[in-house]
Amino acid sequence: MIRVSSLGQPKNQTTSGLGQELPNRKRPLGMSQMGKISNQDYTYIRELVYKETRINLGDSKRELVSARLGKRLRAHSLGSYTEYCKMLQSNPNSGELYHLIDAISTNHTFFFREINHFNFLNSVILPQFANGQLGNKRDLKIWSCACSTGEEPYSLSIALEEYLSGIPSLDWKIQCSDISNRVLDFASKGIYEQERLKNVKPEWIKRYFQKGEKQMQGYYRVRPEISKKLGFQRLNLFAPQYPWNEKFQVIFCRNVMIYFDRETQQELVGRLARHLVPGGYLLIGHAESLAGIKHPYESIKPAIYQLPA
């Protein structure tokens, strides 16, 4: 058995990291030294984030943004948020914008989150695919369009492998995207602390994960035979074009739209529809709804929609 210990120590094992800090920093600035973020600076950050990501930061997010940007100020030895905003304005191509997006992005997730979706996948979607009723193809293509640290697409891969492995003529592939380079780096490694697998059945852990040893004790890595079927890449959902022309039978876009205003939500679900096959499914978070916006889908169950065939 391949041992995870050969991989070296994983980096950034939490979902709340805010990018990398410069090494050997002496006497880092505390929050009291930075002061509060001014209305002008917060407005600039809000407008910049909205322009680049369409994430709508309300007034209630001021303290959260202030706290998360503190590490970026320390990384650049800046004494105030005003200096940080001036740095972004004076050098927009420095790459700091990516760190800013990483810092304000929320990446809370876990394996088999919102289990009703996986039950529907297993009881409805996969039987339709196996019977040739979904896209009329022999390979199932799924897009996890806000994959975060990878728990969602790896959960999907386990579900697909469990159902389809006994049907040799069928295959599957998952495209995984996120706007945060930090979480994509984490997800592509496929290494998780044991605690993060608490919702995974023990027999699935044995079947689909490799147990770490020595310095990697307490960690598990997703086995290569399923991780190789996942493709990870950074993607802004509002980019002029997506990096693929293929259409998917299923799109998971969960717990993303809660950060967008209604106009942006409507634009997004319309764009996603163009990448679904007729009869394909869009699954959104249970805290989300398409009520009140124009869209081409039929509602099947709460948070489950289908593009009419």
> Would you please indicate which residues are annotated as catalytic (active-site) residues?
68, 178
CA pair distance 181, 212, nearest whole angstrom: 25
Q: Identify the CA nearest to 96 among candidates 72, 74, 79, 77.
A: 72
Q: CA-CA distances (angstroms) from residue 293 to 266, 268, 283, 288?
A: 6, 11, 16, 12
Q: How many Cβ atoms sit within 10 Å of the Cβ of residue 53?
A: 22
CA pair distance 237, 156, nearest whole angstrom: 21
Residue with tokens 């369009």: 145
Please provide the DSSP assignment of 153-167 as one string: HHHHHHHHHHHHTT-
CA pair distance 177, 244, nearest whole angstrom: 12
Contacts of 44 (CB under 8 A, 6+ apart): 85, 88, 89
β-strands 191-193, 219-222: how paired? antiparallel
Q: Identify the CA nearest to 64 among candidates 53, 49, 52.
A: 49
Instruction: Give the amino acid at 20.
Output: Q
CA pair distance 284, 304, nearest whole angstrom: 7
